[in-house]
Amino acid sequence: MIDYKCKNCLWWDNEHKRLDKIDKYGHCRKHKPIIYGKNGLHYGAWPLVDENDFCGEFRKEGDK
């Protein structure tokens, strides 16, 4: 049985150096980064998700 959680998904990435101190979170790489603004500056980042979250686009390694 497949455990449909982000941590088991093909699109899950928790290897980024900025996530060193946040063990149970990672980036969802399914879609392009989100652009957001703060203090007049603009940034791009992939959504930060909890390892136990899931979505309707879950895909395990090896799926086509």
Which residues, other chains included, contact 51 with Cβ-Cβ below 8 Å and sequence gap of 6+?
5, 6, 7, 12, 14, 24, 25, 26
Q: Which of 43, 11, 36 is nearest to 26 (CA)?
A: 11
What do you get for the CA distance between the two ends of the chain, in Å?
18
pLDDT, tens digit (0-9, with 9 covering 90-100), for 8-56: 999 999 887 777 767 789 999 999 999 989 899 999 989 989 999 989 8
**Measured distance CA(10)–CA(60) in Å, rounded:** 5
Query: pTM of the predicted model, to two decimals?
Result: 0.74
Burial degree of 23 (CB within 10 A; 0-12, 13-18, 19+): exposed
> Is the pLDDT reported for residue 1 higher than 90?
no
